[in-house]
Amino acid sequence: MKNFFEKSADKLFGLKNLPEDVLLYRVMPKLLLTVVKKYLRLTVEGVEHIPKKGRTLITPNHSGYSGFDAIILGNEIFTQTKRIPRVLTHHLWFLTKATAIPANKLGFFEATTEMGMKLLNKNNAVVLFPEGEQGNFKPTTRRYRLQEFKRGFIRMAIKTGAPIVPALVIGAEETHINLKQIKLAKYLTGGVLPLPLNVIPLPAKWKIKFLPPIKLPFRPESANDVELVHEIASDLREMMQLELNKELAKREWVYLGKRL
């Protein structure tokens, strides 16, 4: 027998019998395009760097606490490449069926190494945020400072041969303001949550930039080399931080004006 939360999810969203991805790629595109183009004034660069087919690992910076960046990024990848990206997201989405059902319909999958490998081996374009929740839930006072990268995505890329396409998302930090990072070590090992200032998105100007793909020239067994994997992750983080800084230096206005 269904519990209250499962029944509520089915009744509220009407999603149970719909195919995966239906919300983000069939129901929501018009709404998202309106929000992106008019409210957030989104510009996108470097889409040509995303391979048209085959296993691909897209690795953006993570920010804004709400997961709004994952939704908008996924929609733009689909709109401009016609590839349906599989987005690996925080495990909190999957703690109950009440939240897992809508997450699946958005094309979200729990961020585990096993799931990432499974999706890549099926030649999907996979979006993975290397900073994890530490990037997503960091205070806005530390905006655009990349947090330490988790190394699982490097192992995935080495084992599957998938190219890594770094991506920069600028604007999410100011769209959803996070006052503080709440650590849940007492209740959930390694867990953190945000303390948001606003729920309604602020009209910060957004820019998404895809960087040239990186093909790691290593044999699959190299994924077990801890020092190598750590070095690659650190180098990639440093490179993305430098590119992010360059983009931020061009910025003139956040909430007003036409130029980013």
Which residues, listed in sequence order, are joined to residue 180 by a DSSP beta bridge? 195
Residue among 9, 45, 63 at smallest CA distance from 171 = 63
For the chain, the average pLDDT equals 83
Which pLDDT does position 15 carry in this prediction?
A: 42
pTM across the whole model: 0.84
Average pLDDT of the residues in 16-43: 66
Number of domains, the chain: 1
Average pLDDT of the residues in 3-20: 44
- Residue 259 inside a domain? The answer is no
Which pLDDT does position 79 carry in this prediction?
A: 86
Percent of the chain clearing pLDDT 70 (strictly above)? 76
Reported as a single tens digit per residue, the pLDDT across 176-226 is 898 887 776 555 555 777 788 888 889 999 999 999 999 999 999 999 999
pLDDT level of residue 26 (50, 70, 90 thresholds): low
- Residue 131 inside a domain? The answer is yes
Question: Residue 98's domain is classified under what CATH number?
Answer: 3.40.1130
- Residue 41 inside a domain? The answer is yes
Place of tokens 């689909």: 78
Q: Is the pLDDT at 244 greater than 80, yes or no?
A: yes
% helix, strand, coil for the chain, step of 5: 45, 15, 40
- Residue 245 inside a domain? The answer is yes
**Quick one: which H or E segment has residue 96?**
none
Instruction: Report the C-alpha gap between 196 and 185 in whole angstroms.
Output: 19
Which pLDDT does position 44 carry in this prediction?
A: 95
- Residue 58 inside a domain? The answer is yes
Return the number of other C-beta atoms located less than 10 Å from residue 63's C-beta: 30
- Residue 260 inside a domain? The answer is no
Reported as a single tens digit per residue, the pLDDT across 47-73 is 999 999 999 999 999 887 777 888 889
Which pLDDT does position 17 carry in this prediction?
A: 47
* Amino acid residing at 201: P
CA dist 157 → 163, 211, 222, 228, 241 (Å): 7, 16, 11, 13, 20
Spatial contact of 110 and 77, defined as CB atoms under 8 Å apart: no
Q: What is the residue range of 204's domain?
A: 18-249
Residue among 191, 171, 195, 167 at smallest CA distance from 181 = 195
Instruction: Report the C-alpha gap between 216 and 28 in whole angstroms.
Output: 35
pLDDT level of residue 12 (50, 70, 90 thresholds): very low
Average pLDDT of the residues in 239-249: 97
- Residue 258 inside a domain? The answer is no
pLDDT level of residue 11 (50, 70, 90 thresholds): very low
Which pLDDT does position 214 carry in this prediction?
A: 98
- Residue 3 inside a domain? The answer is no
Which pLDDT does position 198 carry in this prediction?
A: 87
